[in-house]
Amino acid sequence: MKLDDAVRNPDRRVQLEGLRDFLVNELEGNKCRTCNAVKLRASDTAALVRRLMVVLEELHLLPSGPEEVDPVDALQAAMDDLDDILSQDTPRQSVRKTRKS
């Protein structure tokens, strides 16, 4: 995936992986083909490596997969949301209240 596509993606993991891949390509792409030494200035290399370390740490902190949700907790949350919605006085509910009267 291209970097501009990755950073526009709403998924944080995809964004970070795009940045990681970009930084690695920058570091790998600036090596001498003969001696494998980095052609960047030491300060530029250090900055890229530091950014890569930060991105890798953020990736490590993200959950590895879909979070497991207890079905009972999910049902309770859905019921709470429904209670919140029904407790709001909306025009549609007001109409229902007057029809029942």
Predicted local confidence at residue 65, as pLDDT:
66
Answer whether 38's CB lies under 8 Å from 27's CB: yes
What does pLDDT average to in each consecutive run of 10 residues of the chain (101 residues)? 90 94 92 87 93 94 74 77 68 49 48
CA dist 98 and 101 (Å) reads: 5
Residue 35 DSSP one-character state: T
CA dist 46 and 10 (Å) reads: 29
Predicted local confidence at residue 94, as pLDDT:
45
**0.85 exceeded by pTM:** no
Domain boundaries, the chain: 3-61, 71-100
